[in-house]
Every structure is written in C-alpha cells, then in structure tokens.
A and B are shown apart, each in its own frame.
Chain A
Amino acid sequence: MSLSGVLRKLPNFNAIHSHLNFLGRIARQQPYSMYQPFVKEPTYNIEKLKELIESGEAKKREFVPVKAAKSDHNVSVFHDELTSKFINMVMEKGHKEIATKLVETAYMKIKQMQLAKYYKATTDEERAEIELNPIVIFHKALENCKPVLQLTPIKRGGATYQVPIPIKENRARFLAMKWMILESREKERKVHFPERLAYELLDAFNNTGKVVKRKQDLHKQCETNRAYAHYRWG
C-alpha cells in the first residue's frame, strides 16, 4: 500500500493568535482528514457492489484508492445501515457499546410487545397485520417522522422571517432520528431510554405519538408561513 499517495500532510500550527483563523480557513477549504480528497468511500453492501460492477462504475474506480472500511461495517445478515447511523446518534462521548446495548434492548422490547399482541390475536387476519420485525418497524417509523419542508430564517428589510424551503433527504432523516432520540430522553427517568424508545417507535409506526406530532407541527408552521415562500429567491 503506498501511503504517501493516499495520506495528506498535516498543516503547521504557528502563532496562537492566528491559529483559530487558520483552522477556520482550513475548515472551509479542506476537511481535516487523513485521506487525500480523491480517495473514495468504501462500498460493503453486496447488492450495491453488484450494481456498481454491472453498471461499469467500478471500472472507473480501478485507479482510485478506497478508504479503509469502518469498524461498524460488516456483511452480517443482522446488519442494518440505518440502525448503525441511529446508534451513532444515540452514542455520547464515544461509548459505542452502551449505545448499541440501548438500541438493541429497544428492539427486543418492540419484539416482545409485538409478540404479546400476536399471541393475543385470535384470527389469522389480525396476525397477518401485526409486524414482528423490529427493523421493519424502525424503518417505517422513521419514514413517518421525516418532514417534507423545513423553516429557515431569512432576513428581509430588517425583519427575520421563517421561510419554508424544501428539505434534503439526509437532513430529513437526521431530523427524524434526532426528534426520536430527544423525545425518548425525557425528564422523568423512571422509564428508561430503551423502553421509551420502543414505545415511541411503535407509536410512530402507527402514525401517532409525539414525534409524528412534532413533524406535523412543523408542517403546519410551514403552511402558515406560505406567504413568505417567495423570499427564498429574494
């Protein structure tokens, strides 16, 4: 492996007083990464890899070095990319193990609750309606929580207006996850995080609950501020 072609040299830090400025400039121009800008992200998902190779994109990457796979990448049957992202967002101070435990306990809780419903059900139709896979529930719940518009402050004539603008896919996913986590971390700690998360996810799956309400409130605000939409273009 030729490291010299892949790594970048770190910048020098000279005077303290100009240091922050310097960092700021670096932050804007180049991210502070150990990799050179042309090094590509790895693709470990087998289906995506297949697509890459079949479409011919992989041939273009023949000469481009690829970054090392992260610690939470794997090809296990139980691996879910969205869950990995979610665990990262739940994690605080780098305690990945604790975050993983919390989310997996939440999934277990969801499975237990759904199983209880399943065994209580009497007819086959009822049983068919009950979703047992917590990953599927998690995905559907996030979908229901994703906002479609967001508000951004735009200054016009001295006053700052909250203008509704379309939202990007990544941002919508981020907001859904963030709200989910915030609602699960409530003040009274009698009910712990995994249980709360499980309840919130199930509610969101059924299009009810606090997080979905939060999304709908945002949509309502966007609706009321419809008049300012043209401020987006000045």
Chain B
Amino acid sequence: MAVLRELVVFPSKCFRGVRSFFFSTPLSQNGSLKLNESVSKDGHALDFEQSDTKKISKAMKSYMERAKIHDNFIKQQLHEYNIGKRHLANMMGKDPEFFTQEDVDEAISYLFPSGLYDPRARPMMKHPDEIYPKRKAAEFDVNGRPYHSLFYTSKPNYYTLMHDLAVKFKQLDRHEDKIISRGIQDQKPTELFLFGSEWIPKQKIENVLLESLTDAQYANLIKTFERFSQHPYSAIEKNFIMQFRRQLAAQVEIQQVPELMRDESGRPYMTYNARRKTSNATVKVTGQGTGVISINGTDIHFFQREQDKKQIIFPLQFSDMLGKVDVAATVDGIGTSAQSGAIRLGISMCLRSFVNAETIERMRLAGLLSFDPRTRERKKPGQAGAREKFTWKKR
C-alpha cells in the first residue's frame, strides 16, 4: 500500500490496464488525500475496492461454475462408464472385476454390429478421458491473478517447455565444462541413439500441452529439440527427450520370418502371394533344388525381355541361391514388368526362410523385400492426362 501512495501522484495514463480501481476514483487532490487517508487509517479492504472485487469475482464466479459443471459432468460420465462396464461384463458372462477395455470393445461390436465403413462412426464405449478433450485446470485465482508466470503469453506450457530446453542446454554445457576442467577429455560421451524413433507430431504435442500451436511454433520446437539432442552430452537427458519421440515401426513383419514347410518327398519349401500393380503371383520356392524355374508352366522364357528375366534371377543371385532352389510361379495380370516384379517379390519373400538374418537385412536394404506401391496416376479434371495439360492459350 505504500507504493500506492507514491503512484497516485502521477497522471492516470501510466496505470492503464493495470487495475481498474485507479480509474474509478477521480484523480483530484481530494481524491488522493482520501486514498491516503483510507490507507493510513486501517488495513482492511476499502469501499471502492470491495465493489471492484465483487466485479472481478462475478467473472471468476461464472468461470468457476463452468469448471465445476464440467468436472461434475466428467465424474458422472466416469461413473456411468464404470457401471456400464459391469453391466456389459454381466451380459457377456465375464468377471466384472477383470473386464478390460478390449473386452468392452469386443462386447460392443457383438451387441451393436455396425455396417458403417469408418471405425470412428461405429458405436463405441470408451473411458471419458479418451472421448472428451482434456481442459486446463483453473489458470488464475479468485482475484484474477494467474498462477503461471507466463500466463500472458497465452501459451504458457509451450513457452515453459522452450525455456526448460534452454535451461537444460545450459546445464549440459556446464557439465561439459566440468568434465573438461577435470581433464577427462578423452572419454567419449555415450551417444544418444535416436534412430528408430521420430519426433511426435504436432497433434500429439498439442494434446500433451493442452494448447494449440501454429506450424511455425511446432517447427521451432522441433528445431530446438534437434539442437538439444545434438549436444555431446545429451544422453544425460535421454528420458526427457524420449518423452517427445515415438518409436518407428521396426520392420516387425519382415523379422517374423515364417518357418519352412515340408512336402511329401521331405524337401523344404515356402510359398508367398505377391502383388505388383494389377498382377498377382503365387510363388513356391523349394529347397534342395537344381535351379529349375517354372512360370505358368513354361520356363524363364515365359518372359521375352532380358530385363524381366534378370528381375527373376536378381533375388536368387543376390542371396547366392541361384542353383540351389527350384522356383515354381503362377502369375496373372497385364504387363510384363508388373508380372516379373510380382514374381521377384514372391521369390525374395520365400527366400527369407532359407537364408540367415544378415542376408535378410541385406535383401531389405537392396529393396527386394519392399512392396512396390507405385500405381498408375489418375487423370485429373481440367487436364488431358495425369500431368499433361491442355494447350495453353495466351488469349
């Protein structure tokens, strides 16, 4: 309150936007005296202050009411969800205590079968947290003072994260300086292995921070993270960094190599159905062979072009199985390239069961185990073809 006394002397312009009660009283000599008087007399709230706190708390009141209503609503939904789960368990004849979300999904799809295409349109029963978007808790107190120091940036959580990164960066620098001063320079710091994961997308970060970001802000955040993770001692903050990274699909399907089957004569074999464009190929590779290749009944000369024949031999030569296995393939569809590509993929996938893990990885790096997704590009309206445009006329 001592501060107030001094400030009252200055013209009203300085206090714009700070507190409304500076405007409510006329800034006359009498007024200032009055103020001083009321301050000096007693410590408790002044008349005009009371009326203004009432104004503020009305806004706060409605805010608090809305927050309460929402909280109650979520509680109600949670209660209903739990009850509903128990009912479902009873209906399905399962134990209500150990009824998981997967069981719930199964029950719902059984009891409410839907022919709708989009899974999101079908009936579902999930935990309210998954359905109703999370809101931030009250960001300011009864007097309107925000809790967070960065509240007026309108994205306090985002800027806090950025500040945290900066602080951690400085900490890592200090750590590095310490190590250098101790003379342990030769020790190579453990490298942070980030391959196999990528930065979580914008949507996910928005869900975590409960704030919407612009593309530029997201890009800035990722740039900062990249710079941070390139610090030689960033491995210390591995847990913090991995919170913001998601694992890439480790090529699990390729690693799940199927076991070899045995035919009547005891020879090992493997089959695979491969596709390329509109061609489908069913390929059977039999071990303990002499290199016999049969395509739709005929030998490799089913294909007239050198290129197609080379494609069939490519995976066999690459994995050194050229004269060691027999290949029997049936293929349909239009286009020799598509047919030979499909058979090549089929042979490669079958050969996985015959070769060791190292060779499988080499085949994968050579692109032999990847499905070729390229298809004919569609024609667009307003153009003659996929890319060809109509004749451009200046006028």
Contact = CB atoms under 8 A, between A and B. Distances in A.
Interface of A: 1-3, 5-7, 13, 16, 19-20, 32, 34-35, 38, 41-44, 46, 49, 52-53, 58-76, 79, 96-97, 100
B313 interface: yes
B310 A74 contact: yes
Contacts of B313: 74, 76
A34 B374 contact: yes
B361 interface: yes
A6 B361 CA distance: 18
Contact of A62 (B196, B305, B372, B380): B196
A19 B366 CA distance: 37
A72 B310 CA distance: 8
B195 interface: yes
Contacts of A70: 367
B303 to A, nearest CB: 12
A96 B311 CA distance: 15
B63 interface: no
A13 B362 CA distance: 40
Contact of A1 (B254, B318, B368, B374): B254
Interface residues of B, number: 45
B287 interface: no
Q: Which of A1, A2, A71, A75 has the most CB of B within 10 A?
A: A71
B314 interface: yes
Interface in B152-193: none
Interface in B361-395: 361-362, 364-375, 377, 380-383, 389
Contact of A72 (B253, B254, B307, B366): B307
B386 to A, nearest CB: 9
A76 B317 CA distance: 8
B28 interface: no
B310 A5 contact: no
Contacts of B197: 63
Contacts of A97: 305, 307
B253 A2 contact: yes
A64 B248 contact: yes
Nearest to A38: B198
Contact of B310 (A1, A13, A52, A76): A76
Contacts of A16: 381-382
A170 B318 CA distance: 28
Contacts of A34: 373-375
B129 to A, nearest CB: 26
B346 interface: no
Interface string B296-322: 000000000111001101100110000
Contact of B306 (A20, A61, A100): A100
B121 interface: no
B32 interface: no
Contacts of B365: 42-43, 49, 52, 58, 61, 66
Given A19-B380, A49-B362, A73-B367, A35 B250 contact: no
Contacts of A64: 195, 248
A75 B381 CA distance: 42
